[in-house]
Amino acid sequence: MVHAAVRAGRPAGAVVGRIRQQRLDLAATPGRLWLLLIGLVTLCLAWGALSAYTAQHYSSAASSVVNTREQLSLDAQQIYSHLSDANDATATAFLAPGPESAATRTRYTSDIAAASSGIEQVTADGGVTGTAAQDLAVLAKFLPTYTQEIGDAEANNRLGLPLGAAYLRDASGLMRGNLLTSAKDLYAAENASLSAASAQATGLPLIIVTLVVGVAVGFLLYRASRWLRGRTNRVLNVGLVAAGTLLAVSVIWLAAAFLGARSDLLSAQARGSATVEAVAQASITAQEAHADESLTLIDNTGRDSYEMDFIAQSKALGPGDGTLLAGAAAAAAGTPAGPTVTTAASDATAWFADHTALRALDDHGQHPAAVNSALGTGAKDSGAAFTRLADDFAAAIHSDQAVFNSTAPAAASAYAGVVAATIAAALLMAAACVWGLSRRIAEYR
Amino acid sequence: MNAATSKDGIAVATSPHSARRSVLRGPGPRAAVLALAALGLAALAAGCAAPSPRPVTPAPHAAGHQAAAHAGTTSQSGAATAAATCNPAASSLAPMGPPDVTAGSYMATIKQRGYLIAGVDQSTYHFGYLNPLDGKIEGFDIDMIRAVAKAIFGDPDKVQYKAISDQDRISAVTSGSVDIVAHTMTITCDRLKQVDFSSVYFDAHGRVLIPDDSKATNGLAGLAGQKVCATSGSDSVNTIEQYPVHPKITAIQRPFWTDCLVLLQQDQVGAISTDDAILYGLQAQDPFTKVVGPQLTDEPYGLAMSKQHPDFVRFVNAVLAKDESDGGWETSYKRWVNPAGATPPTPHYAS
């Protein structure tokens, strides 16, 4: 117990004698002590409310990013890319004479299974609203129609009937006109939701306000203890010192959790999901271009609408300034996927060269040779070149998704216990204030 | 004209497993030959065999296509009207002896190149279609092309096939991107202004394909107010839209005939209307459909070639004449159209 020099100079006996009359006299010291007690308790509880709210806000935003929005965005991306791949797989299957190969069939069925379960997953999550919900409805409605038409196409194809190609055209039109556009819109919407949630989880304004308030509370505690030193003969009030210490702990804990989670989230995005998104865009564009290559050969009527589409897709893909591959390379720089994306750029260029050779064959009456190149696995075959590119994209997505998966959960767990801790700290602060002041008030009895 | 109406009795045996066993059976082709003969006589009687090998006056060919829609007696009236200016069935150049690749001819140019370039259909079953099992284009039209290639090279396989859509048939010929088009292509006076045709190698007639359970067994007359499919830009679209019923029939247009069959199977259209040759190919792909109604139009098929190469037209006609006389035509007919066989159309030439 520390005893300060008595500076007030008031006789203790006189104070005790007047206490009943002066209990409500707020101008006198005991009344002021009561006021201070009430004020400090209120302040501590208010701080508790604010700090808990802040912790809860960031914790749920981080958890939403990691557990919900990221998952929805990933599901939407999976739906989009699996549909695009299914479209490509069927085009490849129909390009080859005879029944489809086991490999293409497996690719198609696993794509459709993955897309279907993705649609179910996203629907079950219930976090999809607005136009994205309409897109989801379109997907759920037309995917069964698409698979049925592909089934009709295959059945007729196996009988040697040209009707199979007509069903493929119809199914392909449905895929391009409805399914892929809806999947693309859904993915864009989910990606925007993810960005918004992420901005909320890493946003600075609320945490700054809270920390400033925390410092202000600390200042008020300091002022209170200065005032007490003037009113009582103690240099320090142990209760207030304890409250201040608890305040410092909760402020530092909150700030540390925020900074840790923010850095984890930003890193998970920069080194994980941003690359995954950029590479996924490039991968889907490449798949659509590849389907165009097959469809041009299947259509075989000299109409060049699919080839025009191929040219547009290949320009969007790049490499070159402002292209998807350039974007993917920028996003992947310094991540595990970096070298793979660099390889993808050169593989894309090689594929386009093989594609040009394929078109030259087809345009000069060598349709069978062009088909062989599209389906081939040889060094100069367009089919093999596309497979290399597709493998690059798959590997890049896989490695950077792993980065995200290992980094992002830390962001959500950084807030573990912070809400409870801030509430507990605030209650203890209030208790410490009551304890510290009630001892001083008791001295006036 | 009882011959024409007797076509209604055509029976079709269909096996989905073998394209080659599904057939177009009946006395139709023979009847058509008789009709053609009558038509040729009518043309001669009208004294309209134009001295110019290429009639250029616009012809009311619609008469031949639609006027006799109900009666099923199209040959007589159609020919009589059209004959005033042009006779599609006797519009080609006569061969100069047996097929021979003479020096300096267009055939020599083709031979020099090493292969014939043919514009063909890839989705019309039994006439020109891509067999999905082996990736090869085959059919009755294709056999005509193979006969031409054999006459030039001694090898029917020296052909580069270019699959073209219905609406690209004329431009493929006029642009010179193909030497010849074999594409269930009806010789019409309009088309004769832009391209030359061979002599008639097949006589088709416009009819209607409906699902088995449809009530429109009398053809377009029973389809008032309904939707009927035809390929984009085909003459069948006009036949459907101008058919005199109330309310009018709506023509739904698709790029290929098989696309129409998809719509029919999905109940999006009530029927498909075009040449019976094409309809029987569709019916062979769906045994739950039938070809019904009277013959709406005459559709004499010819191989289209550029007007720049009359020597080639005469050569092709010589090939067809040889093919028709030595049994090649009938072999193809039996393979693709009807195992019972038929007599080839008797060629008539303008000059």
- Identify all chain B residues contacting A94, using CB atoms and an 8 Å cutoff: 132
Name the CATH superfamily for B205-299.
Periplasmic binding protein-like II (3.40.190.10)
Question: Count of CB atoms within 10 A of residue A348's CB?
Answer: 27
Chain B nearest-CA residue for A148: B266
Question: Count of CB atoms within 10 A of residue A339's CB?
Answer: 14
Shortest alpha-carbon distance between residue B295 and chain A (Å):
25
| Strand B227-231 relative to strand B250-254, pairing | parallel
User: What's the angle, vertex CA A133, arms to CA A130 and CA A137, rounded to 5?
Assistant: 145
Indicate the average pLDDT of chain B.
78
Q: DSSP characters for B110-161? A: HHHHTSEEEEE-SEETTTEEEETTTTEEESHHHHHHHHHHHHHHS-TT-EEE
Q: Are A156 and B16 in contact (CB under 8 A)?
A: no
Closest Cα partner for B47 from B9, B16, B90?
B90
- In DSSP terms, which residues pair with B196 in a beta bridge? B305
- Residue A300 to residue B122, Cβ atoms within 8 A: yes
Instruction: Give the 3-state secondary structure of residue A410.
Output: helix
| The pLDDT of residue A408 is above 90 | no
Task: Read off φ and ψ for residue B93, nearest 5 degrees.
Answer: -90, 135
Residues A37-75 have pLDDT tens digits of: 888 899 999 999 999 999 888 888 888 888 888 888 888
Closest Cα partner for A341 from A355, A356, A324?
A324
Place of tokens 């050569």: B315
Place of tokens 């320090």: A236
Q: Report CA-CA distances (Å) from A16 to A22, A206, A368.
A: 10, 47, 111
CB pairs under 8 A between A and B: 82
Within A269-302, residue ranges assigned H as helices are: 274-299
Closest partner residue to B125 among A157, A161, A170, by Cβ?
A: A161
Q: Are B298 and B90 in contact (CB under 8 A)?
A: no
- In DSSP terms, which residues pair with B297 in a beta bridge? B206
- Residue B133 to residue A98, Cβ atoms within 8 A: yes
DSSP letter assigned to residue B54:
S
Closest Cα partner for A168 from A144, A152, A145?
A152
Q: Are A14 and A170 in contact (CB under 8 A)?
A: no
Residues B169-194 have pLDDT tens digits of: 899 999 998 999 999 999 988 899 99
Residues A87-97 have pLDDT tens digits of: 888 888 888 77
What pLDDT is attached to residue B162? 85
- Identify all chain A residues contacting B173, using CB atoms and an 8 Å cutoff: none
Domain ranges of chain A: 49-442
| The pLDDT of residue A9 is above 60 | no
Task: Output the six-digit token pair for B329.
Answer: 């035509």
- Identify all chain B residues contacting A163, using CB atoms and an 8 Å cutoff: 125, 258, 261-262, 285-286
Give chain B's radius of gyration (CA, Å): 19
**What amino acid is encoded at B81 in this protein?**
T
Instruction: Give the 3-state secondary structure of residue A290.
Output: helix
d(CA B109, CA B120): 21
Instruction: Give the 3-state secondary structure of residue A3.
Output: coil
Q: Are A198 and A269 in contact (CB under 8 A)?
A: yes
d(CA A271, CA A297): 39
The answer to whether residue B286 neighbours chain A at the CB level (below 8 Å) is yes
Distance of CA A179 to the CA centre of its chain: 24
Chain A nearest-CA residue for B161: A365
Pick the CATH number of B106-201+302-336 from 3.40.50.1980, 3.40.190.10, 3.40.50.720, 3.30.70.60: 3.40.190.10
Strands ordered across the beta sheet of B271-275: B250-254, B227-231, B271-275, B202-211, B289-301
d(CA A112, CA A116): 6
Task: Output the six-digit token pair for A439.
Answer: 């001892």
Closest Cα partner for B315 from B169, B116, B123?
B116
Instruction: Give the 3-state secondary structure of residue B203.
Output: strand
Percent of chain A with pLDDT over 90: 13
| Positions of CATH 3.40.190.10 in chain B | 106-201+302-336, 205-299
DSSP letter assigned to residue B198:
-
Residues B191-242 have pLDDT tens digits of: 999 999 999 999 999 999 999 999 988 888 899 989 999 988 778 888 898 8
- Omega before residue B247 within 30° of 0, cis: yes
pLDDT-based confidence at B300, cuts 50/70/90? very high
d(CA A326, CA A329): 5
Q: How many CA atoms lie within 13 A of A158 on its CB side?
A: 8
- Identify all chain A residues contacting B262, using CB atoms and an 8 Å cutoff: 163, 166-167, 170
What pLDDT is attached to residue B71? 37
What pLDDT is attached to residue B79? 39
Mean pLDDT of the region A303-320: 84
Chain B nearest-CA residue for A145: B266
Distance of CA B335 to the CA centre of its chain: 17
The answer to whether residue B17 neighbours chain A at the CB level (below 8 Å) is yes
Shortest alpha-carbon distance between residue B263 and chain A (Å):
10
Task: Output the six-digit token pair for A364.
Answer: 């000069």
Residues A105-127 have pLDDT tens digits of: 898 999 999 999 999 888 887 77
At how many degrees (to 10) do helices B310-325 and B106-113 cross? Answer: 80
Instruction: Give the 3-state secondary structure of residue B164.
Output: coil
Handedness of CA B82, B83, B85, B87 (dihedral sign): positive
Instruction: Give the 3-state secondary structure of residue B272.
Output: strand
